[in-house]
Structure 1
């Protein structure tokens, strides 16, 4: 009986994995019950879906595409353009004048009669700037020969939109969940609930559970946004854009999943150094800057290969920089793997550093804990 009583009086200590699971489950449950979180997530997802759908609808109802035409109104080029209901011919005196109009953006392409042996098979040649003008080629009733004035490249406006998309989703998700983690840590410390939690589970399990729970929620949000965007492109028949953007979206999800773990650890560690909610903003401001910089840089330098190359290897900006380079086609096959390895190593080191700061600061109330003191054993 004494043995049974002793067993009944013992308090079962949960393992490290079960402790992490308990904390992570609690974090997920709290987020799912938060109306503010659900509303903000719904608005973000609707905004992404609406932008994709509206872009598809606009592309399905285009205005007349202007093309430069050289020669008489009876030649093959003029006749092919006149036979199309979606093309408008803009006369040009010479090929040099037509090229000038194309580079200035006054026309979408140049249509000229084909010369030489291929004229019988392809009587018309379509000249584009740096990519094949698919809208012009599709509008012609005959199969043309395609030529480009410059090396192939992406549409600058599309590059800008993709840069805003990657930067905004990264910024909003990281800020939303990072701020939530910081507020949660300070609230538990301020109300001294953390003392009760630490009497049951290890402090490292508490940190790991918070990081895992919020990382899972952030990852699911990113996946949901990616799925919505892909479905929107499929429904609106934007298959060309889907083929171009698909691989970069997948890499963005992978990089974000690992990068957010690093940011979550930093948010939790820095927030543990203060005891009042009013001080959270000041202590987490360096982490907020790290989140904001990739968003600003990718918008300002979305077509700058040097800046994007540097961003793709810096751990805090790699989740935005590397997917942009993959979309632009400027990254070699091994570069995403190398960047991902650097991000993984940095995340492991950040978790170790954040765990030390969190453990040394969590039970210290009152004045803000200095970083040098938080790093001491």
Structure 2
């Protein structure tokens, strides 16, 4: 009968414990609810039609508001303007304060003023500005004996970019930062769980019995692999739900461009998570009590913050360079892939560097873990753990 490797037994136990853990189940359900809710809200906002009541108090402004109402759906098909007559400016201000109307349009010395109670909605402002500009331009052109088309001929500016796709830029930006946030919180959540399990076993002295029967290298490998399986499994569920939800919204056109990049994200997440998990295991081994864990895990938390904020704020050359530097590359390279600014060969090189870094770090972490795990006299520093004999 073939004996099962010890690390597999440890990994299966870790998986069984995490799958049945209430906090893991509740956290997964909450995250799925957040994803579904965010996609549902985005779909609802995108499809929702808005009607704005715009008041006028003179024949001149009446003609303008009615003209805007006719043009509004041509500018934005989801925006409708409903003209409302008021006696004068004071009546309009009173109606605004009572929230009976959304805006009051009237002429002034320089053109037109759109009065609102607070900041005007971007949709209303955009429609009114474009409509008024077109109406006034047409009137001025007719007065000059020409047409608006002739006056504006050759003035259109089309937007394009060398890197990425201008039509997908907004959604790529949202997806990229969403992936960075998911990586950060998943690493914190699963990492702290792993570190806690190590320090609890150490604090209860169970680890001494485990170490007598299980090689510490196998124990470390089993814990990391077990937690990685759960983390990646959760990530695949989130990605699947997100992609299905995205396909049901008006943003479904972006799926072909995003699918490959999200696949790369899962790969980078797996490698990056394994790399960081070794550090979390060491943080647990350095602590003798649960209370010590906050101190021993601070360097990892700081590293994750650097990775997260680096992903948020690095741009241009800095972002390109950072996407090759482990472990920052675990976040930045997927973001560049989502953004469409990375060539096909770049993630391969970045992944190879990340794996090489991970192998070196695992060897270092294994040494620290095996030397610190059985030390129960108090919290150890990295320097003290390194000097201990196995």
Question: Is the pair's TM-score, using the shorter chain for normalization, greater than 0.5?
Answer: yes
Shift of 1:233: 1.0
Q: CA RMSD in A?
A: 3.3
Shift of 1:62: 5.2
Q: Deviation digits for residues 16-54 of structure 1, max 9, x if unmatched?
A: x62111111111111112111111121112112221222
Q: Distance in 1 between matches of 2:49 and 2:257?
A: 21
Q: Deviation digits for residues 43-82 of structure 1, max 9, x if unmatched?
A: 1121122212221232223559xxxxxxxxxxxxx99x85
Q: Distance in 2 between matches of 1:51 and 1:351?
A: 37
Task: Summarize the Cα distance change of 1:63–1:163 in structure 2 as closer, same or farther, 3 Å threshold.
Answer: farther
Q: Distance in 2 between matches of 1:374 and 1:291?
A: 23
Shift of 1:181: 0.6
2:24 alignment counterpart: 37
Structure showing greater Rg: 2
1:342 alignment counterpart: 353
Task: Summarize the Cα distance change of 1:238–1:154 in structure 2 as closer, same or farther, 3 Å threshold.
Answer: closer
Q: Is the 8 A contact 1:183 1:277 kept in 2?
A: yes
Q: Deviation digits for residues 123-158 of structure 1, max 9, x if unmatched?
A: x99956525xxxxxxxxxxxxxxxx9x996366653
Question: Is 1:298 the equivalent of 2:298?
Answer: no
1:375 alignment counterpart: 386
Q: Is the 8 A contact 1:255 1:340 kept in 2?
A: yes
2:297 alignment counterpart: 284
Q: Is the 8 A contact 1:130 1:152 kept in 2?
A: no
Shift of 1:185: 0.5
Select 1:228's aligned residue among 214, 237, 241.
Answer: 241
Shift of 1:350: 1.1
Question: Is 1:256 the equivalent of 2:269?
Answer: yes
- Per the normalisation by structure 1, the TM-score is 0.73
Select 1:28's aligned residue among 15, 18, 25.
Answer: 15
Task: Summarize the Cα distance change of 1:85–1:282 in structure 2 as closer, same or farther, 3 Å threshold.
Answer: closer
After TM superposition, list the pairs within 5 Å mapping 1:202-221 onto structure 2: 202-221=215-234
Q: Distance in 1 between matches of 2:166 and 2:280?
A: 39
Task: Summarize the Cα distance change of 1:125–1:280 in structure 2 as closer, same or farther, 3 Å threshold.
Answer: same
Shift of 1:332: 1.4
- Per the normalisation by structure 2, the TM-score is 0.71
1:325 alignment counterpart: 336
Q: Deviation digits for residues 249-270 of structure 1, max 9, x if unmatched?
A: 1111110011100000111012
After TM superposition, list the pairs within 5 Å mapping 1:158-197 onto structure 2: 158-197=171-210
Q: Is the 8 A contact 2:6 2:218 kept in 1?
A: yes
Q: Distance in 1 between matches of 2:209 and 2:272?
A: 31
Q: Is the 8 A contact 1:160 1:299 kept in 2?
A: no
Worse-superposed segment, 185-194 or 305-314: 305-314
Shift of 1:179: 0.2
Q: Is the 8 A contact 1:154 1:328 kept in 2?
A: no
Q: Distance in 2 between matches of 1:194 and 1:38?
A: 26
The answer for unaligned runs of 5 or more in structure 2 is 52-69, 80-126, 139-147
Aligned residues: 309
After TM superposition, list the pairs within 5 Å mapping 1:14-93 onto structure 2: 18-61=5-48, 90=131, 91-92=133-134
Q: SS at the partner of 1:26?
A: helix
Q: Distance in 2 between matches of 1:201 and 1:168?
A: 36
Q: SS at the partner of 2:356?
A: helix
The answer for unaligned runs of 5 or more in structure 1 is 1-11, 65-77, 96-110, 116-123, 132-147
Q: Is the 8 A contact 1:130 1:151 kept in 2?
A: no
Q: Is the 8 A contact 1:112 1:125 kept in 2?
A: no
